[in-house]
């Protein structure tokens, strides 16, 4: 069994919400920075750029070559009339949207809404994202 190492050299991250109209580009020359993200949600109590993430940690496990990105639940609010939210984009907050590097997209599959309350994204305790690197 291997013990994960925590990767500590990283800027803080944030998570913003997007409508279904946002079409991510996962190609090698595709979306890389927050300026590439379109169709961010609008609603009373929701602020452009999303919210700060707490409990952020990144672990690298060798020899399995696995990276796990952990986040505590992300909560927006109180918000009113937040409708048809289809996903969340998590990015490193480098202080300017043209420098804020994207980390991952969480597609909700089904639209989510709230009208007078809090909007919370709960991530697995095993990690929000797990990436396994394999050789050729």
Pick 16 or 77 by higher pLDDT: 16
Q: Is the pLDDT of residue 64 over 90?
A: no
**Does residue 4 have a pLDDT over 60?**
no
- Residue 1 pLDDT exceeds 50: no
Residue 39 banded pLDDT, cuts 50, 70, 90: very high
Task: Identify any residues that bridge with 16 across adjacent strands, giving them in sequence order.
Answer: 89
> Is the per-residue pLDDT at 20 higher than 80?
yes
Domain parsing of the chain, residue ranges? 5-123
58 pLDDT above the threshold of 70? yes
């Amino acid at each position: 069994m291997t013990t994960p190492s925590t990767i500590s050299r990283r800027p803080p991250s944030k998570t913003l919400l997007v409508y279904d109209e946002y079409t991510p580009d996962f190609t090698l020359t595709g979306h890389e920075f927050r300026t590439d993200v379109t169709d961010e949600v609008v609603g009373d109590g929701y602020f452009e750029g999303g919210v700060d993430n707490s409990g952020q940690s990144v672990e690298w496990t060798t020899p399995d070559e696995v990276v796990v990105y952990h986040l505590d639940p992300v909560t927006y609010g109180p918000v009113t009339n937040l409708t048809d939210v289809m996903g969340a984009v998590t990015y490193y907050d480098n202080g300017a949207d043209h420098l804020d590097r994207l980390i991952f997209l969480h597609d909700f599959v089904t639209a989510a809404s709230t009208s007078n309350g809090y909007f919370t994204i709960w991530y697995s305790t095993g990690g929000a994202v797990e990436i396994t690197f394999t050789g050729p």
